[in-house]
Amino acid sequence: MENLIALLVAAPLLGAVVLLCGGRRLDRTGHWLGTLFALGSFVVGVVLFMDMLGRDADDRAMHQHLFSWIPVGGFQADVAFQLDQLSMTFVLLITGVGSLIHIYSIGYMEHDERRRRFFGYLNLFLAAMLILVIADNYLLLYVGWEGVGLASYLLIGFWQHKPSAATAAKKAFLVNRVGDMGLSIAIMLMFTTFGTFAFGDVLAATGETSEGKLTAIGLMLLLAACGKSAQVPLQSWLGDAMEGPTPVSALIHAATMVTAGVYLITRSGAIFNGAPDAQLAVVIVGAVTLLFGAIVGCAKDDIKKALAGSTMSQIGYMILAAGLGPIGYAFAIMHLVTHGFFKAGLFLGAGSVMHGMNDEVDMRKYGGLRKYMPVTFATFGLGYLAIIGFPGLSGFWSKDKIIEAAFAYDDGIRGWIFGGVALLGAGITAFYMTRVMLMTFFGEKRWQPDAEGHEPHPHESPKSMTIPMIVLAFGSVFAGGLFSLNESFVHWLEPVTSFEHPHPVISVPAITASTVVVLLIGVAIAWFMYGKRPVPVTAPRGSVLTRAARRDLLQDDFNHVVLVRGGEHLTRSLVYVDHTLVDGVVNGTAAGVGGLSGRLRKLQNGYARSYAVSMLGGTAVLVAATLLMRAV
């Protein structure tokens, strides 16, 4: 059974190679092939899952050693896979949601002439993401980590003829690279500390080193997670990443890739457990991003960017939970999975809306779409209820647990602060999601003919698009409840992540009750602002906070002024320095030698008499010198 693990990766990888190298011959069948390879990987995942379920809880991890990758002295990197409960969860999520999105893309990308390549990139993404989650050492994880970065780069910039898409793609890759720097340094630290970077060896040996080392490693891992999971301060790329086709936003920038940071922190739990300072940093990053993303999400009029803000915020919840230690890991992953369902569903719904609205993304130009797109409305609505944590739906189960765990952080003031932040975030989530819902599906229709006079004709999307949405909606509704039956999800993960029951500073029913109250307040405010009153087609100027939030809380402006402008000046002045100073010294020497020889050349004037003088003078000097030497 172990030998099947490599097949998980091999199938989509083969798909990517075939589709990308196959040329135009595959243009007509490429999308089916790509979907087939994705489904194949999913089937293998399910088979492995069944096998895993059939064994004892402590005996479920599987290993497959393929070959020795980089053997240099004490540095031994292997290509080896490890499939345990944590990886298995991810494998099913990635291949499952991935396959659904492949199917959805068949319809969504129907009219794109480069559809084959799109599916090739999607397969490439699946392969890289699977390597990321089933690698058995940090270096191989790094391969997947950058591999998904590459796939994300290619897919964000898929419509490369748009300069904005190309820029967004580059930005995403660069910001991610800053995070990758953290991962590299973390691996190097592990190597110098433990002499290895295989999960099993490192995580077992954390007790033998100092807390300082663990904190350093933990902070570097956090930097990596910040880059990949769009957490403050490396969050700026996610909003721009919405330039990519919507299925990409659903798969990569909502359900799977951006959650890799959560995976990394959970996987490295043993390191963080030994470094409370690093954990605190993780929790702070999570809490700040949770609010940051939520605030940004409130102000955006672009439906995808609003959802992107929401993604950021929800991943903030997961990071927060992962920073809480054994009381939070399982809930972080649980929220990750349910979020995978409802956020992918929401994005696909947004894509479906855009599909029917001539790719319009401004929610102020939607309105009243529930009549035209009933299926989209229903699935989007269920996703909406799930994400705001409506009691009984998926989001409720997972988010509520995170809020509980946050209140249990450290039994004191920290519990209150972070619990409060998590609770507040739930309210804001309810607000902005209700806003999205109301602006898109309710109210009067506000669409207008575009510049060329085409009036949008909203219509329901084809079956290939609606079926994945329906499946995801089922997940959004039932997954959370299913996972919470007898705490089955927590027990499933317990052998990998360990688990402790949280002891919140206030009682659990009180937390649940206040969550529901906060949620209702958020919905109510949104209804008063966007449901009761008509939505203006052009955005009002808004308060200072609104305007800042529209500009991602000015973080991009800061980046632009400090990094982009500063960098441009730096490189330009360095080019100047290189040309004038470094090269100037050399050219100056050359000019000096040239000038000197120019002077000397004048002595060679061709007049025999002047040569005779120098000969005579030379003779005189020689004679004088000889006499002088003799005299001395």
CA distance 204 to 190: 12
Which of 566, 281, 262, 245 minimizes the C-alpha distance to 398? 262
Query: Between helices 30-53 and 5-21, what is the axis angle to 10°?
Result: 180
| Residue whose CB is less far from another protein, 142 or 432 | 142
Minimum distance from residue 187 beta carbon to another protein (Å): 8
| Residue whose CB is less far from another protein, 167 or 358 | 167
Minimum distance from residue 137 beta carbon to another protein (Å): 13
Which of 255, 268, 167, 253 minimizes the C-alpha distance to 223? 268
The owner of tokens 């930097």 is 223
Minimum distance from residue 194 beta carbon to another protein (Å): 5
Minimum distance from residue 61 beta carbon to another protein (Å): 19
CA distance 394 to 385: 9
CA distance 229 to 168: 16
DSSP letters spanning 172-212: HHHHHHHHHHHHHHHHHHHHHHHS--BHHHHHHSGGGS-HH
| Residue whose CB is less far from another protein, 186 or 479 | 186
| Residue whose CB is less far from another protein, 205 or 548 | 205
The answer, yes or no, to whether the previous bond of 233 is cis (omega within 30 of 0) is yes
Which residues 6+ apart lie within 8 Å of 576 measured at CB?
none
Q: From the CB of residue 181, how many other CB atoms can be counted at a distance below 10 Å?
A: 14
CA distance 442 to 532: 10
Minimum distance from residue 258 beta carbon to another protein (Å): 19
Minimum distance from residue 562 beta carbon to another protein (Å): 15
| Residue whose CB is less far from another protein, 78 or 84 | 78
Give CA angle at 46 (125, 14), nearest 5°: 35
| Residue whose CB is less far from another protein, 128 or 252 | 128
| Residue whose CB is less far from another protein, 157 or 458 | 157
Which of 282, 280, 307, 283 minimizes the C-alpha distance to 296? 307
CA distance 149 to 496: 26
| Residue whose CB is less far from another protein, 142 or 396 | 142
Minimum distance from residue 33 beta carbon to another protein (Å): 19
Burial class (CB in 10 A: 0-12, 13-18, 19+), 629: exposed
Minimum distance from residue 612 beta carbon to another protein (Å): 5
Minimum distance from residue 330 beta carbon to another protein (Å): 28
| Residue whose CB is less far from another protein, 13 or 308 | 13
